[in-house]
Chains A and B, each alone.
Chain A
Amino acid sequence: MKFLILIYTNPESRQIWENLPADQRSAGLRAYQELTDELTASGELIVSGPLADPSHARRVTVRDGQPLTTDGPFAEIKEYLAGFYYVECDSAERAIEHAARVPGLDAGVRVEVWPMRTLNDFGVDM
């Protein structure tokens, strides 16, 4: 089963993170790297990545057939997407175990585990 693990952060958590002593910050980054390495080694990782600061995000709409981009309103948002893991695991429990290892969950970072839809339909007409 494929799952999208979404990692959210907020300006306060970001602030805490940026004010951490260097050694604690590098410990956090190491924890991220270890999680990514283990998911890669186990063959469960499909793709993952950190997202750029929300100030770089663009909202895209279409008006009269023309794409239109706007900058916000990301400045005031309380919480924003910071990164993701796209994984394939034998069970939802396993995906949740991985998600629980995302660093910073005790400091305001939040994760969500979303199962992907499948195209598989075995057993539907059984």
Chain B
Amino acid sequence: MNVDDQLRELAPQVLAALVRRGGDFETSEDAVQEALLAAATQWPDEGVPDNPRAWLITVASRRRIELWRNESARRRREEAAAAMPEPAPVPEVDDTLTLLLLCGHPALTAASQVALTLRAVGGLRTDEIARAFLVPEATIGQRISRAKQRIKASGATFSPPAPDELPARMAAVRHVLYLIFTEGHTASSGTALHRVELTTEAIRLTRQLHALRPDDGEVAGLLALMLLTEGRRPARTDPGGALVPLAEQDRRRWDAAAIAEGTALITDALAHAPIGPFQLQAAIAAVHAEAATADDTDWPQILTLYDLLASIAPGPMVTLNRIVAVAMVDGPAIALDQLDAAARDPALAGHYRVDAVRAHLLDRAGDHDSAREHYRRAAQRTLSLPEQQYLQSRANRRP
């Protein structure tokens, strides 16, 4: 394990240890961040200490006292509280969960939840988070300090939420991890040197959450969805860096281990847990993954899964993806009729994805000229640069 990985593993443990020794979350988190920074500079040169965790706790504790000294008398009273006897040790695994739940506090914006989770639980440094999100360090620093102020103002402490709040908070944590994954999902990553891979980090954190809550079917479903999506990554781009759609990917280039793990996870979750949207999305990804070629895809099963998804978690994107499955099962004419109806939904009116799906269906129906026109329209309006290039290449394709 390299130093960065080691620090990321230890970060939530060290933070929890500090808070348990009677510190406020806000200052402790800053102190841990500085200890991580010190370790990242010193360890590669001077070697990793014999007990890295103890080293970090010592450095962070010292730094915390300095931070306290720099502040007002109000802070000094809290320092007196810090002298209280150390509470009985609690298994560290629970600390990570408590931290994740605190970072998913409803008083925070999604962007703040994401930044705080990556720093407090993920052990990433502010500069690493900033590079990954392509914003200045000050912006991320501000999001984190704002998040901690909000948590403090809400009166939340470093303890699990009340039982009646737990389901909503777990849902928020899953959503944060999903956002980290989707944010990092881009074919053109790696342009910035040492850019943290957000997808890898999201999988690592979700893996930890799954280990803590193995019976939560939606956590298992989320982890499976991430693994199945990530497993396709090697085949998602051609040598020129352009996106390759699922149907045209060279499936031999998929990461077989990630796909096998994701498939096993979702198979187990579906058998044991109440169904949920992440599980259904993972199940759809698994059905795609089990087909040796695109032509072998079990589309009737995918359509059944989309029908279920549309009934428990309807949404405009679910509607459109379901229509693509309808085309594969019942033919493009029926799918085009359903698309006309769906396009009247205000949530989809004027959305570029309607044009992209229409183009795809028209292509399947053999009307290539109209398809190109809709690909062109979709390309013009998508916000995603790789998607724009892909849609434009479809628009330019000769029949």
Interface presence of B186 (CB below 8 A): yes
Partner of B383, one of A47, A88, A117: A117
The 8 closest A-B CB pairs, nearest first, are A43-B143, A122-B185, A122-B182, A125-B246, A121-B386, A43-B142, A119-B186, A117-B385
Question: Which residues of B are found within 8 Å of A41, using beta-carbon distances?
Answer: 142, 146
- With an 8 A cutoff between CB atoms, is A6 at the interface? no
A124, B110: Cβ atoms closer than 8 Å? no
In the complex, A66 has a CB within 8 A of chain B: no
Nearest neighbor of B183 in chain A, beta-carbon distance: A120
Instruction: Mark out the residues of chain A between 23 and 69 whose CB falls within 8 Å of any chain B CB in the assembled complex.
Output: 40-47
**Cβ contact within 8 Å between A47 and B187:** no
Q: How far is the CA of A121 from the CA of B147 in the complex (A)?
A: 28
CA of A121 to CA of B246, assembled, Å: 13
In the assembled complex, B111 has its CB within 8 A of some CB on chain A: yes
- Judge whether B185 and A120 touch: CB under 8 Å: yes
Q: Once A and B bind, how many residue pairs between them come within 8 Å at the CB atom?
A: 84
What 0/1 pattern do residues 71 to 104 of A give for CB contact below 8 A with B?
A: 0000000000000000010100000000000000
Q: Is A115 an interface residue (CB 8 A)?
A: yes
Bound Cα distance A126, B236 (Å): 11
Total interface residues on B, CB under 8 Å, equals 40
Please determine whether B385 and A45 come into contact, CB atoms closer than 8 angstroms: no
Whether the pair B388, A117 counts as a contact (CB closer than 8 A) is: yes
Contact check, A118 vs B390: say whether CB atoms are below 8 A apart.
no
In the complex, the answer to whether A119 meets B385 with C-beta atoms within 8 Å is yes
Contact assessment for A121 and B136 in the assembled complex, using a CB-CB cutoff below 8 Å = no
Q: List 28 A-B contacts (CB under 8 A).
A: A43-B115, A43-B142, A43-B147, A44-B111, A45-B139, A46-B139, A47-B136, A88-B111, A88-B133, A88-B139, A115-B383, A116-B383, A117-B383, A119-B186, A119-B187, A119-B189, A121-B185, A121-B187, A121-B386, A122-B181, A122-B182, A122-B186, A123-B182, A123-B317, A124-B243, A124-B384, A124-B387, A126-B321
Q: Nearest A residue to B112 by beta-carbon distance? A: A43
Tier of interface size on chain A: 20 to 34
Residue from the list B142, B189, B229 in contact with A40, Cβ < 8 A: B142
The interface residues of chain B lying within 8 Å CB-to-CB of A90 are 109-111
User: Which residues in B have their C-beta under 8 angstroms from that of A117?
Assistant: 383-385, 388
Query: Counting CB contacts under 8 A, is B85 at the interface?
Result: no
Known: A43-B146, A122-B185. 10 other contacts (CB 8 A): A46-B136, A88-B133, A119-B386, A120-B183, A120-B384, A121-B186, A124-B243, A124-B386, A125-B232, A125-B244
Q: List the B residue with the shortest CB-CB distance to A91.
A: B110
Q: Is B155 located at the chain interface by the 8 A CB criterion?
A: no
CB distance from B377 to the nearest CB of A (A): 16
CA distance A47 to B246 in the complex (A): 38
In the bound complex, residues from chain A placing their C-beta under 8 Å from that of B232 are 125
Give the shortest distance, in Å, between A47 (CB) and chain B (any CB). Answer: 7
| Shortest CB distance B75–A (Å) | 21
Quote the shortest CB–CB distance from B207 to chain A (angstroms). 19
- Find chain B residues with CB under 8 A from A42 CB: 109, 142, 146
Complex CA gap A116/B382 in Å reads: 11
Q: Max chain B CB contacts within 10 Å: which of A40, A47, A90, A125? A: A125
Instruction: Say yes or no: is B349 at the interface (Cβ < 8 Å to chain A).
Output: no
B211 at the interface (CB under 8 A from A): no
Chain A residues near B140 (CB-CB < 8 A): 43
B334 is an interface residue with CB less than 8 A from chain A? no
Residues B82-139 near A (CB distance < 8 A): 109-112, 115, 133, 135-136, 139
State how many angstroms separate the Cβ of A37 from the closest Cβ of chain B.
Answer: 11
Of B186, B189, B388, which is in contact with the most chain A CB atoms at under 10 Å from its CB? B186
Per-residue 0/1 for B334-370: is the Cβ within 8 Å of any A Cβ (1 yes, 0 no)? 0000000000000000000000000000000000000
Query: When the two chains form their complex, are residues B146 and A124 in contact, meaning their CB atoms are under 8 A apart?
Result: no
CB distance from A17 to the nearest CB of B (A): 30
Give the complex CA separation of A118 and B135 in angstroms. 13
Closest B residue to A42 by beta carbon equals B146
Distance A43 CA – B143 CA, assembled complex (angstroms): 4
**Taking the complex as formed, is B240 at the interface, i.e. its CB lies under 8 A from any CB of chain A?**
no
A45 partner residues in chain B, CB cutoff 8 A? 139, 142
Residues of A within 8 A of B386 (CB): 119, 121, 124
Interfacial chain A residues near B135, Cβ < 8 Å: 46, 88
- Provide the B247-258 mask, 1 if CB < 8 A to any CB of A, else 0: 001000000000
Q: Which of B115, B189, B383 has its CB near the most chain A CB atoms (within 10 A)?
A: B383
Q: Which of B302-319 contact A (CB under 8 A)?
A: 317
Instruction: Give the residue of A40, A47, A88, A121 whose beta carbon is less than 8 angstroms from that of B384.
Output: A121
Contact flags (1/0) for B49-72 with A, using CB distance below 8 Å?
000000000000000000000000
